[in-house]
Structure formats: structure tokens, C-alpha cells
Amino acid sequence: MANAADVDALDFEPDDDDLMDDDAAVDVDASSPTAAAHIPKLKSAITGGSAAAAASSAPKKTKGRGFREESDAARSNRMSGRFDSLDSDGGPGPERSIEGWIILVTGVHEEAQEDDLQNAFGEFGEIKNLHLNLDRRTGFVKGYALIEYESYEEAEKAIASMDGGELLTQAVNVDWAFSRGPFKRRNNRRRSPHAHRSRSPRRRY
């Protein structure tokens, strides 16, 4: 069964709830001519200068009541403020979790059981934690598993050995679950950051 574990609360200021973070303060993209054509200002609960709009490089087909509703100021505050995280330098590469290293297995056969994963992954090291979540509708395995090893080497060995391998005759992929920083989206890097913001003709010098 799925492990809907409780999350421990850490100490921090409850007043942060009302603070507008830097994240939510800048909101240029939502009013770009391309986006504004048929997308009303995106709810600022999406922080980071409207992360959803920032992600877009082209107008999107939109659907849903959420676009027609008045944006609620409280919404923007909910996802702003300080969020707890484990300390990290923000660089590339996998990140250690609180007590070990977590890998994600995908392509897991829908009839797989915990024992099958123990057998396949137990040889690389002791499995400290295993989440094999079920599809809530069908009761079969959803298709992924999260496995924790105590050491980086054990997890790395598991990835190296099992990525592209097989479990119950079905191909699986194995990779780290957590990263130390954001990933660069190579697709968008080549474009100028301003390319999608304005339709006015480029200045000719």
C-alpha cells in the first residue's frame, strides 16, 4: 500500500506565510503579448515570475475554470516565503537525502512485489527504505519504485547495473531521484531570454 507518511514540522516563522518572496515579486512574463492574448494573468501561486508562463515558449491551448477566476492574493502568498530544504550548493549531481541516497526505478511491472525489488536491488547494498506505490484505481503497481541505500556507492552500483535492465521480463530504468540544483533546459538555452516576450520588431542599428 502507498506510504502516505506524515511529514515532520521544522521550526520556522509562521509569519513567513504573509511575506512576499522575491520569487513572487517579479511577474513580467504573465503580461507578455503572446501569452496575454488568450491567457489571463496566471495565478501568482505559481512563483518564480509565474513559473508556468516562464516555461512557455509558445502560446498554449488553455482549458479550465481556473483561467476565468479572479486571482486570489492569498494564493500568491501560499507558495512564497521560505521553504525548508537540505543544504546543498545548488550545483549539478545527485543530492543525499536525510539518511541515505534515493534512486528511482521506472518501468516497474504492474504485478511486481516488494520481494521482487528486494531480490533485484538487494545485492547492491542493504535497502533502507522501499516505496512501491500502487495505482489507486487498479490496485496494481503504479510503475515506479523508490529505493534508499545508505551509501552513495551502493546506490551508484544499483543504477549502473540495473538501468536499462529487466525486472520480471520488463525493461526498467534506474536513476537518482534528487538533485543538488535545477537542471538546465538545453532546448531553451539557445534562445535569447527575451525572444518570446515581445512581438515588436528588433531594433535595427
Partner 1 sequence: MAEEENGAAGGEFYLRYYVGHKGKFGHEFLEFEFRPDGKLRYANNSNYKNDTMIRKEVFLTPSVLKECRRIVSDSEIMKEDDNNWPEPDRVGRQELEIVMGNEHISFTTSKIGSLMDVQTSKDPEGLRIFYYLVQDLKCFVFSLISLHFKIKPI
Which residues inside 146-205 make contact with partner 1, applying CB under 8 A? Answer: 146, 148, 173, 175-183, 185, 187
Beta bridge partners of 166: 171
Closer to partner 1 by Cβ: residue 89 or 202 = 89
Q: Which of 131, 156, 161, 197 binds partner 1 (CB under 8 A)?
A: 131
Q: Which is nearer to partner 1, 25 or 55 (CB)?
A: 55
Cβ contact 169:38 at 8 Å: no
For residue 152, give the nearest of 120, 118, 176, 123 by alpha carbon: 176
Would you say 56 or 151 has its CB closer to partner 1?
Answer: 56
- Smallest separation (angstroms) from partner 1 to the CB of 205: 33
Q: How many CB atoms lie within 10 A of CB 67?
A: 13
> Which H or E run includes 23?
helix 22-25
Between CA 90 and CA 143 the distance in angstroms is: 29
Q: Closest distance between partner 1 and the C-beta of residue 180, in Å? A: 7
- Exactly one of 143, 150, 157, 168 binds partner 1 (CB under 8 A); which one? 143
Give 140 or 204: the residue with its C-beta nearer to partner 1: 140
Interface region with partner 1, contact rule CB under 8 A, candidates 26-34, 113-121, 128-136, 194-202: 128-136
Instruction: Give me 7's grid cell.
Output: 511529514
To partner 1, the closest distance from the beta carbon of 30 in angstroms equals 12
Sheet order of strands, 127-131 included: 127-131, 144-149, 101-106, 173-176
Instruction: State the minimum distance, in angstroms, from the CB of residue 35 to partner 1.
Output: 10
Residue 137 or 204: the one with the smaller Cβ distance to partner 1 is: 137
Which residues lie closer than 8 Å to 152 by C-beta, 6 or more apart? 94, 96, 101
Output phi, psi for 152, to 5 deg: -60, -40
Q: To the nearest whole angstrom, how small is the minimum distance from the Cβ of residue 14 to partner 1?
A: 5
- Interface positions, 13-32, toward partner 1 (CB under 8 A): 14, 16-17
